[in-house]
């Protein structure tokens, strides 16, 4: 079987800590490779034959674990699950020591954790690529899959508008950065108490200056979705915020994506959610399972986008 790349990405980065570090062209290159690897004839290209990815999980996951593990197997490599309950990093060993030890065993590390500083310190001391599988600040792998899904549906990002409805969290942070990188407008609709952090807004707007994207925040969901092409939402209480769930439900009552709200969007809008969804909270079942929903295509695209990322970071670069 051939091991030739169907599309050679031009990626200068050594890690994926956040999409802010990637240029617009690097992101588009990853999406092009993901589209090629998604083709049935390219599903099992052994581009990472014999390579091993260590997957550190401080936060549990369905999509992150299964998509990375399946992706490595399809690429001819192996993925190793490492819970922080089972490795010494979760029992007092420093992140720096863990990074250096694992670098001697592995060809790449994916980590899903709480603090962005943990990922950054791991990368600082690692001699192999480190991938941010999720932190409280960013979820770059999800946004690569989201951008791939949008590109598949519309063929372009130019002139497209996204509305994100709900909590300004790691998803909204990463979506603002991703949208700004590809030149797509995005509006965040959320209660004032749960608005994006000023530093996240400044970061996204500093990127948008170079691509012409518009970044906007409002407390009015109708304003956000009016004429938009993409409606995106996420749970109101993320992992680790369970104690705030009841309070958050009160604040977000008017921010449900439902049959009334979507009437203000473009007729051909698509609905997106990073999953898992809390049905009848942030979104109604009718919208989640409706004809405009692409949530399961979006979930599948985690596999294809991450395979492209793994090849770009762990493959043999010419």
Q: How would you class 242 by CB atoms within 10 Å of its CB: exposed for 0-12, middle for 13-18, buried for 19 or more?
A: exposed
**Contacts of residue 177, Cβ cutoff 8 Å, sequence gap at least 6:** 18, 19, 20, 138, 143, 203, 204, 207
Q: How would you class 17 by CB atoms within 10 Å of its CB: exposed for 0-12, middle for 13-18, buried for 19 or more?
A: buried
Distance (Å, rounded) from C-alpha 168 to C-alpha 115? 16
Distance (Å, rounded) from C-alpha 312 to C-alpha 2? 17
Distances (CA, A) of 120 to 132, 136, 239, 312: 9, 13, 21, 19
Q: Could you tell me how many residues make up the chain?
A: 318
Helix/strand/coil for 86: coil
- For residue 185, give the DSSP letter: E
Binding residues for carbamoyl phosphate: 61-64, 88, 112, 139-142, 274-275, 302
The two three-digit tokens of residue 247, written as one number: 């309070």
Distance (Å, rounded) from C-alpha 272 to C-alpha 142? 11
Binding residues for L-ornithine: 170, 234, 238-239
Relative orientation angle of helices 140-154 and 170-182, to the nearest 10 degrees: 50
What residues act catalytically?
Answer: 112, 139, 142, 234, 274, 302
Residue identified by tokens 């034959």 is: 49
Residue 128 · residue 107 · CB < 8 Å: yes
CB atoms within 10 A of CB 298: 24
Residue 28 · residue 182 · CB < 8 Å: yes
């Amino acid at each position: 079987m051939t091991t030739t790349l169907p599309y050679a990405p031009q990626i200068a980065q050594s890690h994926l800590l956040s999409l802010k570090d990637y240029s617009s062209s690097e992101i588009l290159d990853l999406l092009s490779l993901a589209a090629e690897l998604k083709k049935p004839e390219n599903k099992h290209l052994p581009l990472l034959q014999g390579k091993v990815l260590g997957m550190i999980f401080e936060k549990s996951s369905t999509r992150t674990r299964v998509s990375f593990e399946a992706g490595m197997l399809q690429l001819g490599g192996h993925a190793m699950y490492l819970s922080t309950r089972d490795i010494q990093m979760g029992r007092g060993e420093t992140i720096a020591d863990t990074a250096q030890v694992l670098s001697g065993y592995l060809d790449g590390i994916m980590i899903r954790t709480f603090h962005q500083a943990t990922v950054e310190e791991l990368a600082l001391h690692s001699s192999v690529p480190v991938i941010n599988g999720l932190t409280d600040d960013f979820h770059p792998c999800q946004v690569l899959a989201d951008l791939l899904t949008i590109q598949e549906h519309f063929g372009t990002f130019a002139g497209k508008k996204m509305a994100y409805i709900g909590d300004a969290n790691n998803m909204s942070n990463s979506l603002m950065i991703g949208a700004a990188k590809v030149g797509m407008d995005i509006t965040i609709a959320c209660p004032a108490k749960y608005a994006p952090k000023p530093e996240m807004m400044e970061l996204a707007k500093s990127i948008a200056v170079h691509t012409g994207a518009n970044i906007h925040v409002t407390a009015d969901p109708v304003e956000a979705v009016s004429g938009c092409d993409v409606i995106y939402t996420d749970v109101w209480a993320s992992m680790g915020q369970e104690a705030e769930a009841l309070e958050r439900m009160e604040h977000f009552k008017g921010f449900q994506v439902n049959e009334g709200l979507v009437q203000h969007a473009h007729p051909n809008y698509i609905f997106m959610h990073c999953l898992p969804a809390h049905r009848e909270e942030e979104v109604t079942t009718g919208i989640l399972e409706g004809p405009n929903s692409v949530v399961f295509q979006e979930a599948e695209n985690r596999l294809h986008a991450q395979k492209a990322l793994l090849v770009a970071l762990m493959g043999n670069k010419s």
